Amino acid sequence: MMKLNVKPRLNRSTTSSIPPVAGKAGAIGWSFLTLSLGMSLLLSPTAYAEHADRLSTIQHIEQPWPRLQLQGEQLTSIAHHPTWALLLHSWQGDAQIHAPEFLLSAADFSLERELQATLALFSQQPATAFCRFPARITFIAQQLEITLPSERFQPCAELQRYRDYVPFTSMELVFASEVLDSTTSMLGHVFLKASGVNHRGTAVAHSLAYFAEIPPYNPARLMFASTVTGLPGYYIVRPFATDKRQYVQKEQRNLWQFALKATDAQKELLQLHLWELRNLDIAYYFQSFNCATLTLELLALLDPAVLETRRLFVSPHDVVKAAHQAELVKTTDVLYADPWLFAALQQQLPSEQRQQLDAMVLQQVDSGAGDNAITWPEDIVEPALAARYLTLASADAQRRGRLSAAQHAQLLSTIPPSAHRAIQLEDEKSPAKTPQDSMLGLGMQRIADAGEPVWHLKFLGSGHYLYGDNRQYQTESELQIAGIALGYDALTQRTQLYELTLYSMKSYVPHQSLYPQWSSEFYAGYQPIVQSDLRMDYAGEVSGALGKSWRWHADVMAFVMVGGGLSVPQWQQSYTFALAKTGFIINLPANLKWISQLEVNSGKSQSRQAYQEWRQQLSWFPVQDQALTLGVVQLRNQDKHIDLYQAQWQYFF
């Protein structure tokens, strides 16, 4: 016989909010209240009124709940309904959230058994079942076309408080842009946002997000937990202002807010379902159950079609794309962090207007106590953009101590009220338009004047390349997580590991006078290195570089980097090396991209012989998820030089 855990370990707050109901305890309570009511009639009208209120409350609790009974095909049908699987976060029949507070059949989970267990709990303790699993009960009742009592939330004080304070009038999917100098922030972050007017009449907005708790610093334990046993994870609700401040102000990341299409019933079901996730330990697995995975499953409650995009690894970009593909997105708003906004304004405002605005700030700085003669230029074409530009430039001057708060305020007062409005940036980037982040590639490399080429088969778990289509990213960058390439040498007819990238990133953030930024690189993996005869060997490597990048034009960037690293050709051999590189990146018409780079390296092999590498790469992006890259690399040391020709086709999925 199936073993059911019909007394789930409820969280403390929920348990305490549920009064005793049903059965003998309920009858005793009723008798006691009847007696109390009779006694109270002898006291005073006020006391009667109080008891009447209490009686009314109890009557609601005692209000009969409908019987939810399922048998045979009906039970099977509902158990295999996509929404039921989503409410249980079951993927391909397996449970992903194993907390016994959430899964009544955790010991022997199946969709049917969990449905039976939920029904069994509801039949015994309907109020307890509803207060703990309001979305499940609501869904089952809807399927049976049974109306639940209108006062069904009465016994659930904590749930009711949540509904009062966290309205779901409108819903948004929020994407926090990549942080280019942080390992996983390069993937971005995604969460839901619910907005509306709460029961106090106040407009509020809440973030609904999944977080993992990092154990004390212990790399081995952390590595094992995040990929094998899982890290403790929690779904939390908190004011959106907290996240807005964190991401936009502190981390200077842009927030994309995608307003979602949803019916009232869908929003209510999602609202109730999130309550079911409260206080649960939801195990976090980086590769299979992360914030993007859970958010995608929650989105599926609005439209199951988004799950069609679920593949090997779900990233925040994937969730945004899935929402767009399922046509769930109504509108898009972007909250820009100051550096990105200023960079965009610099690109979009005519240089003459920028000079006028800069002159206003300069005039105010020179005025000392403030200059009342400063006026808003009459010929400003884009007043809203100019107002933002002046606000940022003046704030920067204040931050540097060149303007007082009063001067800053005085300068802003010159902006006409009509300029204070939402702005629209041209060429707005979107996480929905980036290529997919897993890649399969086929390439070849041939040494000039040599015989047969070396063929490569490449796979990238997650990320993108510097030579890829990065026009929809904030800036030029590269991220490689779990990349592997096998090489087949047609001359020797040998196949061997050509490259194994554990983690690689390049972040070329443009330097701006108002917002100085560093560019950086890091590599950890196994890749070909140049030997003294300019032939290739293979070595483990950890390296990094720091430098500056400049955006000369919307499509032209230049960079200078200096760094070093450790090369390990064999187990007992390791060599340090230094490097310096410079180059430029140009996005050309017809979906072409050209990267030219010169690197000077002190040498990674045993000979420690310095060499220069001059690399030219031309990429073509015929469609969003495919690319063809051609390259010419010239290697030169003090003795000789060789030329390499490269070609690679990439398919992103």
Partner 1 sequence: MRYIVLCSFCLLVLGCSSQHTQPSSPSATPTFGVSADPDAKPVDKQWQYQDSVERAAHTTSEASTAQDLNTAATTYLPPPHLPIKSPASDVAAAEPKVAFVAGEKDL
Query: Which 544-583 residues touch partner 1, going by CB under 8 A?
Result: 566, 568, 570-571, 574
Q: Which two tokens stand for residue 403?
A: 């303007």
Residue 279 C-beta: closest distance to partner 1, Å? 7
* Cβ closest to partner 1, residue 112 vs residue 338: 338
Q: DSSP label at 277?
A: T
Q: Among 36, 44, 147, 182, which residue sits at the site for partner 1 (rule: CB under 8 A)?
A: 182
* Residues 201, 446: Cα–Cα separation, whole Å: 70
Residue 37 C-beta: closest distance to partner 1, Å? 31
Q: Among 246, 492, 496, 576, which residue sits at the site for partner 1 (rule: CB under 8 A)?
A: 246
Is 160 an interacting residue with respect to partner 1 (CB under 8 A)?
no
Is 380 an interacting residue with respect to partner 1 (CB under 8 A)?
no
Q: Among 231, 298, 322, 349, which residue sits at the site for partner 1 (rule: CB under 8 A)?
A: 231
User: What residues numbered 83-102 form the site for partner 1, per CB under 8 A?
Assistant: none
User: What residues numbered 392-431 form the site for partner 1, per CB under 8 A?
Assistant: 392, 395, 420-425, 428
| Per-position DSSP letters for 565-600, written without gaps between them | EEEEEETTEEEEEEEEEEEEEEEETTTEEEEEEEEE
* Cβ closest to partner 1, residue 39 vs residue 546: 546
* Residues 461, 548: Cα–Cα separation, whole Å: 29
Q: Which two tokens stand for residue 104?
A: 């009544």
* 3-state secondary structure (DSSP) of residue 501: strand
Q: Among 137, 140, 173, 187, which residue sits at the site for partner 1 (rule: CB under 8 A)?
A: 187
User: How many chain residues bind partner 1 (CB under 8 A)?
Assistant: 91
Cα angle value 638/642/645 (rounded, 5°): 150
* Residues 325, 263: Cα–Cα separation, whole Å: 18
User: What residues numbered 579-618 form the site for partner 1, per CB under 8 A?
Assistant: none
* Cβ closest to partner 1, residue 332 vs residue 602: 332
* Cβ closest to partner 1, residue 299 vs residue 585: 299
Residue 496's identity, in one-letter code, is Q
Cα 583 to the center of its chain, rounded Å: 31
* Cβ closest to partner 1, residue 308 vs residue 333: 333
* Cβ closest to partner 1, residue 86 vs residue 341: 341
* Cβ closest to partner 1, residue 68 vs residue 485: 485
Beta strand pairing call for 536-553 and 556-570: antiparallel
Residue 197 C-beta: closest distance to partner 1, Å? 9
Is 45 an interacting residue with respect to partner 1 (CB under 8 A)?
no
**Residue 438 in contact with residue 460, Cβ under 8 Å?**
yes
Q: DSSP label at 522?
A: E
Beta-carbon contacts of 466 under 8 Å, excluding residues fewer than 6 positions away, are 476, 477, 478, 506, 508, 585, 595
* Cβ closest to partner 1, residue 195 vs residue 474: 195
What is the CB neighbour count within 10 angstroms for residue 164?
Answer: 12
User: What residues numbered 454-493 form the site for partner 1, per CB under 8 A?
Assistant: 481
Is 64 an interacting residue with respect to partner 1 (CB under 8 A)?
no
Residues 232, 233, 234, 238, Cα dihedral to 10°: 120
Segment interacting with partner 1, rule: CB under 8 A, options 114-122, 240-248, 263-271, 463-471 = 240-248
Q: Among 79, 88, 212, 298, which residue sits at the site for partner 1 (rule: CB under 8 A)?
A: 212
User: What residues numbered 506-545 form the site for partner 1, per CB under 8 A?
Assistant: 524-525, 540-542
Residue 458 C-beta: closest distance to partner 1, Å? 19
Q: Among 30, 48, 91, 286, which residue sits at the site for partner 1 (rule: CB under 8 A)?
A: 286
* Residues 153, 161: Cα–Cα separation, whole Å: 10
* Cβ closest to partner 1, residue 349 vs residue 481: 481
**Residue 620 in contact with residue 424, Cβ under 8 Å?**
no
Is 9 an interacting residue with respect to partner 1 (CB under 8 A)?
no
Segment interacting with partner 1, rule: CB under 8 A, options 90-98, 118-126, 197-205, 356-364 = 197-205
Half-sphere exposure of 268 (CA within 13 A, CB side): 9
Q: Which two tokens stand for residue 633?
A: 């690399």
Q: Among 388, 456, 593, 615, which residue sits at the site for partner 1 (rule: CB under 8 A)?
A: 388
Rounded to the nearest 5 percent, the helix, strand and coil shares of the chain are 35, 30, 35
Q: Among 20, 75, 81, 251, which residue sits at the site for partner 1 (rule: CB under 8 A)?
A: 251
User: What residues numbered 314-373 form the site for partner 1, per CB under 8 A?
Assistant: 330-336, 338, 341
Is 645 an interacting residue with respect to partner 1 (CB under 8 A)?
no
Residue 257: closest CA among 318, 323, 311:
323
